[in-house]
Amino acid sequence: MILDDLRGAVRGEVLGDEQSLSKYSHDASIFEVKPQAVVQPLDVEDIKSLVRFATEKNEQGERVSLSGRAAGTDMSGGPLTESIVVDFMKHLNHVVSVSPEVNSQGVITGGSAVTEPGVFYRDFEKETMKVNLIMPSYPASRELCAIGGIVSNNSGGEKTLMFGKTEDYVSRLKVVLSDGNEYEFRSLSPEELAKKRELKTFEGEIYRKMFKLLEENYETIQRARPDVSKNSAGYFLWNVWDKKKFDLTKLFVGAQGTLGLITEVEFQLVPVKKHSRMVIVSLRNTDVVSEMINVILSFKPESFESYDDKTLKLAMKFAPELVRKLKKNIFVLAWEFLPSILAMLRIGFPKLVLLVEFNGDNEAELEEKTKEVAKALKRFRSPVRRTRSEEEGKEYWEIRRESFSLLRGHVKDRHTVPFIDDVIVKPEHLPEFLPKLDAILAPYKDKMIYTIAGHEGNGNFHIIPLMKIEDPETRALIPKISDAVYDLVLEYGGSITAEHNDGIIRTPYLTKMYGEGVVKLFEDTKNIFDPKGIFNPGKKVRGTLEYAMSHIRERW
């Protein structure tokens, strides 16, 4: 019945066959949630019609909701729903414009781009690179993910250390809200905000209620801001109003489509540097990592990543396949890695490998900077080497990115289980935090195979174990380990998710992180924008651990 009704409401495609419903029951998470229908809206008018359709159905007593979906690479279950999936990829997939800014010398210094949410990031970047510009907060899944997910998750990646997260680059949004109309959001001055609050419309009501909520709870909200450089947990209320500007784009970024459906995004862009060089550090232990990070950060690297000894062992175990991926002669590759191999023979297997990348337009200056970094790190008595070319640096990135994928391909009886996949603490805490994290995970080594890799400069680590998830005893470990890891993260003032967001897997833990008072403000925010609860329910607010555990996939 709902399929027929939907086909009468929109001009785009409506899918209800078993194959389609099965495909949209999954993302990159551990969950399976089967929708009633999938709609591929033709345009913004279709999205407006969908919202009005959902509202009418709810008024008639039918429980209908809408969950936006882009490329489906989310690891938290964010776009999964038992109701209607709104797929942006089929039609809302155009880069509208790319506008470079040129100085008086004719040099491109920055710019902006306007795009629809269903554009693959890889295609978006091709357009911006035509004028040597980039949106730098792309995630590691840059070849697979799409713009809608990047914005809705507040994504970050290897360049976040220098450039920040997606929230720092969204300057304007168009969103269809729960009254079925499209609105534009951008930063407003106090005078512009006053005019919005005077509107006798749903938009005016939004501004009045949000301003009241933020003003009356200003100190509480500011105290709730996690004391880390990256965060994707909860609604970012602390970013909206600073007494000088009022910017609701900061609220939609990272909201996982729970407040409205984004139809257009304007990003600010930055120029791409011509050259890069890398410094690689091998650490026998993590005792000096905090002090070393401070020294490295003083040189302002563009990227600062790490991988652990388990990742390096995987790289050695699957070396022939890595060589094939790199498309290089194994003897040439062995020669290039010889300094790292000799270091291992001298100090033993490193506990942690640090990858520090510098970018610039002057190759000689980069060479000099990496020499200075290597000299500054001598006092730590850890092997340090500098790459001789950008190509050589890519080989170390390949170890960081591909080792776990190779392991996953070889272990046939276990599956990737992201559930503690995105923790972050301030880097100064790492010497204490990392051994304690390993101590929590170590007792379960017979139940899961895992590596720890991440963005060392931010203190952000990704742990995505392989587990026999169909085993009830193994599944029961998920909340047990989550509780222990999140307690440790919060002990050090961190966030339970830096980049991957809440979705089904982490929404139940937001009260643990923020407390009941702040979560109540999240619920109030949701009610202001979505009083009938039609946008992606169960994410950000009112999600339960019982629901999450009952929707874990049993078959892959």
pLDDT in tens, 379-395: 999 999 999 888 788 77
Rg (CA), the chain: 24
115-150 confidence digits (pLDDT tens) = 999 999 999 999 999 999 999 999 988 899 999 999
Q: Identify the pLDDT of residue 395.
A: 74
Q: Is the pLDDT of residue 369 over 90?
A: yes
Of 195-204, 211-220, 317-326, 540-549, the range with the lowest mean pLDDT is 317-326
Is residue 342 pLDDT above 60, yes or no?
Answer: no
Averaged pLDDT for residues 189-211: 98
pTM here is 0.93
Range of lowest pLDDT (89-93, 215-219, 244-248, 454-458): 454-458
Question: What was the pLDDT predicted at 341?
Answer: 56
The reported pLDDT for the residue numbered 187 is 98
CA separation for the pair 229, 426 (Å, rounded): 8
* Nearest residue to 70 via CA among 14, 167, 176, 151: 151
Percent of the chain with pLDDT over 90: 80
For the chain, give percent helix, strand, coil, nearest 5. Answer: 45, 20, 35
- Name the average pLDDT for the chain: 92
pLDDT score at 287? 86
Going across the sheet that includes 84-87, the strands are: 13-15, 37-40, 84-87, 66-69
Q: Which of 160-169, 270-279, 397-406, 438-447 has the lowest mean pLDDT?
A: 397-406
Residues 252-257 have a mean pLDDT of 98
Q: Sorting pLDDT into bands at 50, 70 and 90, what band is 307?
A: confident
Confidence of residue 325 (pLDDT cuts 50, 70, 90): low
Angle formed at CA 181 by CA 177 and CA 183, multiple of 5 degrees: 75
CA 463 to centroid of chain Cα atoms:
14
Tell whether the model's pLDDT for residue 56 goes beyond 90. yes
Is beta strand 275-283 parallel, antiparallel or unpaired with respect to 384-386? antiparallel
Q: Please tell me the predicted confidence (pLDDT) of residue 404.
A: 59
Residue 328, pLDDT score = 61
Cα(80)–Cα(232) distance, integer angstroms: 18
Q: How far apart are CA 459 and CA 422, in angstroms?
A: 10
CA 359 to mean position of chain CA atoms:
23
Instruction: Name the burial class of residue 3, with classes exposed (0-12), middle (13-18) and buried (19+) by CB atoms within 10 angstroms of its CB.
Output: middle
Q: Does pLDDT of 513 surpass 60? A: yes
When pLDDT is averaged across residues 347-375 and rounded to a whole number, the result is 91
Q: How far is CA 300 from the centre of its chain?
A: 23
Phi-psi region of 381 (alpha: psi -120 to 50; beta: other; left: phi over 0): left
In this structure, which long-range contacts are made by residues 291-296, counting pairs with CB atoms below 8 Å and at least 24 apart in sequence? 291/380, 292/354, 292/377, 292/380, 292/382, 293/427, 293/428, 293/430, 293/456, 293/457, 294/427, 294/428, 295/376, 295/377, 296/354, 296/356, 296/373, 296/377, 296/457
How far is it, in rounded angstroms, from Cα 449 to Cα 452? 11
Segment 178-189 mean pLDDT: 98
Token pair, residue 233, equals: 């947990």
84 pLDDT band, cuts 50/70/90, is very high
192 neighbors 459 (Cβ within 8 angstroms): no
**What six digits make up the tokens of 441?**
């995970």
Q: Which of 411, 388, 415, 397 is nearest to 315 (CA)?
A: 397
Q: What are phi and psi of 555, to 5 degrees?
A: -135, 145
